Amino acid sequence: MSESISGFSKLSKSKKIDWIVNTYFSNADEAKRILEQYWHIDEKIQQLHDEFIENTISNYYLPLGVAPNFLINGKLYTIPMAIEESSVVAAASKSAKFWLDRGGFKTKVISTTKIGQVHFMYHGNKKTLESFFSYLKPLLFKDAKPITKNMEQRGGGILDIELRDKTNDIKGYYQLHASFETLNAMGANFINSCLEQFAKTFKSEALIFDAFSEEEKDIQIVMSILSNYVPDCLVRAEVSCKVEDLNEDNTISAEEFASKFIQAVNIAEVEPYRAVTHNKGIMNGIDAVVLATGNDFRAVEAGIHAYASQNGTYSSLTHAKIENGIFTFWMEIPLALGTVGGLTGLHPLVKLALELLYNPSAKELMQIVAVAGLAQNFAAIRSLTTTGIQKGHMKMHLMNILNQFGANDHEKSAIIDYFKTHTVSHSAVVEALKNLRANK
């Protein structure tokens, strides 16, 4: 059982590592070797990584892959994806190739409004508070000018500020509910800075507002923070073609495939147990591109899953239909992304990923990310309704199993060849490897 440590954050990196490996690991030298093995060979890049977060002891690598052949609004893309899960990049690439010959993906940004809130408690007369807010609103814009000046010059800034009564939920609870346009920045720091200034102005002006009683002036600001729920920062992605053009599998007709595909989506629309896994597949594509481009995948995840529950039940993010012989598969999702600020200007691989995408604007990146999610979902449903999900997934997982059991190049080649005609499972791979080694 380890003891607590005081002043850990003030220790040098080497002393932090020494304490970690000597306190928690049976083989301290081996643990230290592994941590140091993942340091970057370039000292400047390693220092950059060390300064991204606190108490850095090493780097944690994820594979960075690419999925080519994405035709989006007539423009061809190769999409970067940072992810560890087998078959995700392969599935995205397969979907991209499938739709390349069928018109590609069509996308549009519906809106880009982001939200922030000042949460406060007020127990006085509501009418007096409303009167105060009418007086206060122009001052909120004015006092935030030093923060918003540069953003406004680029065409963004504060769009509106509303007073919202939430007293039916919590006694005395109100909000300043503000909407923002942050252009190519994700905008978290900008929004939070504006909100904190709103709170300062609110408190100081309340103290001198004549219509407030002394008790009413005692307004408690609980917190000022942006929201990662952005239902008005929406992007749409879709694919469509004639039903007969869906026929690429000899085991099923185009009409039967389309029918089963739509039924699978319908099930995810009404059954939360299926919807969660269905949407997780969408996020395989979305998160991988969000991470590769230096954006906040946790914020994206939270906002999208909240959106999937907007009607009171967790439901599918994608939808499908046939009208007049045309199959259409589409999705509308909220995405708050940035192509300037944060890691986008710091991480060398993020810079490369954005250049690979022709240095997109935030709106363009929204569309690319949405397409990655739609493609991933199409690939998953296509597999589920035809061959089954495990056939392709386990073939991609085969190499992970072989690496887990230390297979050499000769063994890998022989086992891969064997499973071209056999069903892959963990136990089957272990057995085949065991037999191969025994015969050798």
pLDDT value for 288: 98
Domain membership of residue 121 (yes or no) is yes
Q: For the beta carbon of residue 120, count every other beta carbon within 10 angstroms.
A: 21
Phi-psi region of 276 (alpha: psi -120 to 50; beta: other; left: phi over 0): alpha
DSSP string, 79-129: EEEE--STTHHHHHHHHHHHHHTTT-BEEEE----EEEEEEEE--S-HHHH
Domain residue limits at 17: 12-50
Reported confidence tier of residue 392, pLDDT bands at 50, 70, 90: low
pLDDT value for 110: 98
pLDDT tens, 205-222?
Answer: 999 999 999 999 999 999
pLDDT tens, 243-300?
Answer: 999 987 777 899 999 999 999 999 999 999 999 999 999 999 999 999 999 999 999 9
Is it the case that residue 396 has pLDDT exceeding 70? Answer: no
Is it the case that residue 320 has pLDDT exceeding 60? Answer: yes
pLDDT tens, 329-386?
Answer: 999 999 999 999 888 888 999 999 999 999 999 999 999 999 999 999 999 999 999 8
Work out the percent of the chain whose per-residue pLDDT is above 70.
97
Q: Which token pair is 364?
A: 């363009």
Domain membership of residue 181 (yes or no) is yes
pLDDT value for 438: 85
CA distance 166 to 218: 18
Domain membership of residue 187 (yes or no) is yes
Between 56 and 3, the more confident residue is: 56
Q: How many CA atoms lie within 13 A of 64 on its CB side?
A: 16
Mean pLDDT of 122-137: 98
Positions marked catalytic: 85, 280, 296, 393
- CATH code for the domain in which residue 142 is found: 3.30.70.420
> Which of 2-16, 18-32, 351-365, 404-418 has the least mean pLDDT?
404-418
Picking from 174, 207, 227, the residue at the C-terminal end of a domain is 227
Q: Are residues 399 and 338 in the same domain?
A: no
Domain membership of residue 6 (yes or no) is no
DSSP β-ladder status, 234-242 and 326-334: antiparallel
Domain membership of residue 281 (yes or no) is yes
Q: For the chain, what is the mean pLDDT?
A: 94
pLDDT value for 439: 81
Picking from 367, 387, 407, the residue at the C-terminal end of a domain is 387
Reported confidence tier of residue 394, pLDDT bands at 50, 70, 90: low
Is it the case that residue 1 has pLDDT exceeding 60? Answer: no
Reported confidence tier of residue 436, pLDDT bands at 50, 70, 90: confident
Q: Are residues 300 and 269 in the same domain?
A: yes
Give the neighbor-by-neighbor strand order of the sheet with 114-121: 157-165, 173-181, 114-121, 220-227
pLDDT value for 415: 84
The position carrying tokens 């690979």 is: 356
Is-contact 314 214, C-beta < 8 A?
A: no
> Which of 13-27, 153-167, 169-183, 383-397 has the least mean pLDDT?
383-397
pLDDT value for 275: 98
Domain membership of residue 55 (yes or no) is no
Domain membership of residue 5 (yes or no) is no
Q: For the beta carbon of residue 41, count every other beta carbon within 10 angstroms.
A: 6
Work out the percent of the chain whose per-residue pLDDT is above 90.
83
